Chain A
Amino acid sequence: MKDYDIAIIGAGHNGLIAACYLAKAGFSVGVFERNKEVGGAAVTREGPSGFTYFEGPHVLTGFSPSVMRELDLSQYGLDIIPLPGRTTLNAEGQFLTTNRDERQSFSAIKYFSLQDAEMYRVFLRDLTRQKRIAALSQPRIGSDQRFGKRYLREDVGKWLGQVEQFGKDALSESVRLWTSSCADYLQSYFQEDIVQAHIASPVFMGVDKGPFCPATAFLLLRCGFDQSLHGAQGFVRGGMNRLSHALESAAKDAGVDIHLRSEVIEVQVEKNKVRGLTLIDSTSVKAKVVVSSLDLKRSVMMLFDWKDTERGVLEQARNYKLEGTLAKLNIALDGLPKFPNLPQDSTVLGGLMNFVSNLFEIEAAYDAWRDQIVPSRPFLEITIPSVMDPSLAPTGKHLMSVYVQYIPTKLLSGPWDTAARERLATIVIDQIAAHSPDFTKRIEDWSLSVPRDFEDKFSLTNGDVFHGQLSLSQILSGSALLGSNGTLPGIDGFHLCSPVTTEDRGMTGLPGARIARRIARGFEDE
Chain B
Amino acid sequence: MSDQSQEDDFFEQRDDIGSPAVVRKWQYDAIVVGGGHNGLVCANYLAKMGLEVVVVEARGVLGGMAVNTTQDHGSLESSDFAHLISGIPGFIVRDLKLNKFGLRFSGHGTRTVSIDEEGRKLTLSPTLEESRESIERLSRSDADKYSDFTDHWTKVAAALKRFVSMAPPPLELGSHTSLESLHGWLEQAARVSPDILKRAQSGLMAPVADIVEDLFETDLLRGTLAFDAVLGMNVGPRQAGTMLSYLQRLIQRDLAMQSNVGYPVGGMTAAINALAKSAQARNVEIMTDARVTDIRISDGRVHGVDLEGGMNLDAKIIVSSLDPKQTILSLAGVRHFDLEFIQKLRAIRSNGAIAKIDLQLSELPNITGLNPDEFRGRIVISPDIDYIERASAAIKYGEYALAPIAEIVFPSLFSEEAGETHHMSAIIQYVPYDIAGGWVTKRDQFEHHILNALKFYAPDLLNKVLDARIMTPADIEDEFGIWGGNWHHTEFSLDQFGPMRSMPELAQNKTPIEGLYLCGAGTHPGGGLTGLAGHNAARVISDAVKRRS
Contact = CB atoms under 8 A, between A and B. Distances in A.
Nearest to B498: A175
Given A164-B174, A363-B396, A476-B205, A172 B241 contact: no
B186 A153 contact: yes
Contact of B194 (A142, A157, A164): A142
Nearest to B494: A179
Interface stretch (B222-230, B232-240, B439-447, B469-477): B232-240
Contact of B347 (A188, A214, A215): A188
A147 interface: yes
Contacts of A145: 194
A170 interface: yes
B186 A176 contact: no
B201 A160 contact: no
B202 A480 contact: yes
B524 interface: no
Interface in A193-226: 212-215
Contacts of B499: 172, 175
A467 B154 CA distance: 33
Nearest to A177: B495
Interface stretch (B5-13, B120-128, B206-214, B293-301): B206-214
Contact of B190 (A152, A188, A471): A152
Interface residues of A, number: 47
A228 interface: no
Interface string A465-497: 000000111001100100000000000000000
A410 interface: no
Interface string A506-521: 0000000000000000
B182 interface: yes
B197 A141 contact: yes
A152 B191 CA distance: 11
B389 interface: yes
A113 B495 CA distance: 28
B207 A473 contact: yes
B187 interface: yes
Interface of B is mostly: helix
A370 B238 contact: yes
A184 B495 contact: yes
Interface residues on B, range: 35 or more
A2 interface: no
A473 B202 contact: yes
Contacts of B22: none
Contact of B210 (A151, A321, A364): A321
Contacts of B308: none
Interface in A131-183: 141-142, 145, 147-149, 151-153, 156-157, 160, 163-164, 167-172, 175-176, 179-181
Contacts of A156: 186
B190 A172 contact: no
A168 B172 contact: yes
A428 to B, nearest CB: 23
B179 interface: yes
A304 interface: no
Given A141-B194, A142-B197, A360-B397, A214 B493 contact: yes
B240 A472 contact: yes
Contacts of B18: none
Contacts of B238: 370
A214 B235 contact: yes
Nearest to A174: B171
A153 B207 CA distance: 30
A142 to B, nearest CB: 3
Contacts of A179: 240-241, 493-495, 497, 500
Contacts of B186: 152-153, 156
B173 A184 contact: no
Nearest to A181: B495
A253 interface: no
B198 interface: yes
Given A147-B194, A214-B495, A473-B240, A172 B172 contact: yes
B306 interface: no
Q: Which 8 A-B residue pairings sit nearest by Cβ, starting from the closest? A: A142-B198, A172-B171, A473-B206, A179-B495, A179-B494, A215-B240, A147-B194, A477-B202
Given A184-B349, A472-B494, 13 more contacts: A147-B190, A148-B190, A151-B190, A157-B183, A168-B174, A169-B173, A172-B172, A179-B495, A181-B495, A188-B344, A319-B214, A370-B393, A473-B202
Interface of A: 141-142, 145, 147-149, 151-153, 156-157, 160, 163-164, 167-172, 175-176, 179-181, 184, 187-188, 212-215, 318-319, 321, 360, 363-364, 367, 370-371, 471-473, 476-477, 480
Interface of B: 171-175, 179, 182-183, 186-187, 189-190, 194-195, 197-198, 201-203, 205-207, 210, 214, 235, 238-241, 344, 347, 349, 386, 389-390, 393, 396-397, 493-495, 497, 499-500, 504
6 contacts: A157-B183, A160-B179, A168-B172, A168-B174, A471-B207, A472-B205
